[in-house]
Amino acid sequence: MEMRRKLNVLLNDSIAFRSFLTMVIHGSGRLLGLLAFILLARLVSVEDYGNIIFGNSMAKLVAAIAMMGCLGIMVRTWGWSEFDDFERKRYVHYISNWYLFNGLPIIVVITIGWIAYLKFIGDSGSALIAFLAFLYVFPLFVANLYQSYFISIKKPLTSSTILLIINGFWVIFLTMAFLLLDLSALYLLLGLFIGTLLLAILLVFINSYKYGVKKVKPRNGSLSFALAQWGSMLLAQIDILLLQFFSDTEQLAYYGVALQLSMVIAFVLGAIVSNVVSQLAEDYKQLSKDIVQQRVLLYAKIIATFSSIVLIFLYLFGYFICLLFGEEYGVSYSILCILMIGQAFNAMNGCNGWLLNLSGYEKIPVKGFYIAIVIKLILGIVLVNHYGMFGVAITSVIALVLWNLIMTYFCFKNIKINPTIIPFKI
């Protein structure tokens, strides 16, 4: 009854309701993405799936590098702009064009480097599979860029719809392959890449038709936003790198499944942040600190409530979900339970990193990320050699808890705002 009462209160709040709608759409997109990887695991061997996980993780990392912290900059541009609604949207779009035209060459250079590496090592089926999975970086970069744009102009539902459409295509294509076609891993990946790339090109055309192709370099750009985004992605993907270089593709495949499921909790935080981050930038600039504190506490409660529902669900049914990938993936559940400890702590600390970013202390999250990354690397190398993927999972939890402690401490110290679910005054 108490849980139902809290949910009713939250859903009567406009922010909570929009967050709920975003989670429905974003969650549907995530669910389709999960289903796509279940189908993919059923269509390929465990070794090939491990190589796909590595290539896909590198695509996420390189796409983050090419994004150069654009979300934080576009959000702050929106929050601090004095243009009217249409002009503000168009101006932020011009900034997104700048990131598009400057990010793609970075991806091209890295891709050429990977091709040169393939030529150097000679014919290797495993390396080729990882490379084809990596090619997803091109449509992923475009999709992430426009998702960031729509979040910055307060249209998180549109942002989530992009994810829904792309993952929907993956499910349709892989379902056809599962039921009707007999394709190798190479052709599966090639088909996914071509189809998703066409969707990304269509997305660029639609947005350029509405606002034009002019590009504007952001005036309030900061290297700290880029370093923070790179650090965030590296902190999330370094587990895969550790297993790639210090373990084998089988453990990489099992860990990849657990990591995908644990990120379902992180999407709750992302869905709520996408609804509030632009408003938070405006509030911090225009409202008193007491009112900002009240709103931050509300956001923390919303995050904690929805995250707890997902956590309980995964603890109860996570094992059976892992088995959907194949009977051999049952071991992934143990890894998932470890990773969820870190995600639960992350959810309890609310929007701590974003609060620092939007209040002019963006260098603090950067330092926090790279401190956590160094500790994760050192501790991970030690533990992976003794405990394999379980050691990497333990290291991941320690690093995530440490990062949150640093961020929350500086929220208390520098901006005198409590970002956590615990409602005590500073």
pLDDT tens, residue by residue, 218-264: 876 567 777 877 888 888 888 988 998 888 889 999 999 999 898 88
- Cα 221 to its chain centre, rounded Å, is 22
pLDDT, mean of residues 60-65? 91
Task: Say whether pLDDT at 133 is over 60.
Answer: yes
Predicted confidence (pLDDT) per residue in 270-281, tens digit = 767 666 666 676
Tokens of 317: 């049914």
Give residue for tokens 């729509």.
150
Give dist(CA 379, CA 416) in Å, integer.
32
Tokens of 170: 């993956």
pTM, two decimals, is 0.81
Task: Say whether pLDDT at 42 is over 80.
Answer: yes
Task: Say whether pLDDT at 75 is over 90.
Answer: no
Amino acid 422: pLDDT: 81
Amino acid 30: pLDDT: 81
Predicted confidence (pLDDT) per residue in 195-206, tens digit = 999 999 999 998
What is the number of alpha carbons within 13 Å of residue 392 lying toward its C-beta?
Answer: 27
Contact 144, 107 (CB under 8 A): no
| Cβ count within 10 A of residue 360 | 12
Amino acid 29: pLDDT: 83
Amino acid 3: pLDDT: 47
Amino acid 10: pLDDT: 47
Task: Say whether pLDDT at 6 is over 60.
Answer: no
Contact 273, 357 (CB under 8 A): no
Identify the CA nearest to 104 among candidates 58, 50, 148, 140. Answer: 140
User: pLDDT class for 329, splitting at 50, 70, 90?
Assistant: very high
Contact 73, 193 (CB under 8 A): no
Amino acid 359: pLDDT: 76
DSSP-assigned letters across all residues of 124-176: -HHHHHHHHHHTTHHHHHHHHHHHHHHHHTT-HHHHHHHHHHHHHHHHHHHHH
Task: Say whether pLDDT at 190 is over 70.
Answer: yes
Instruction: Return the percentage of the chain with pLDDT > 90, whole number.
Output: 39
Give dist(CA 203, CA 200) in Å, integer.
5
DSSP structure class, residue 361: -
User: pLDDT class for 331, splitting at 50, 70, 90?
Assistant: very high
Amino acid 157: pLDDT: 81
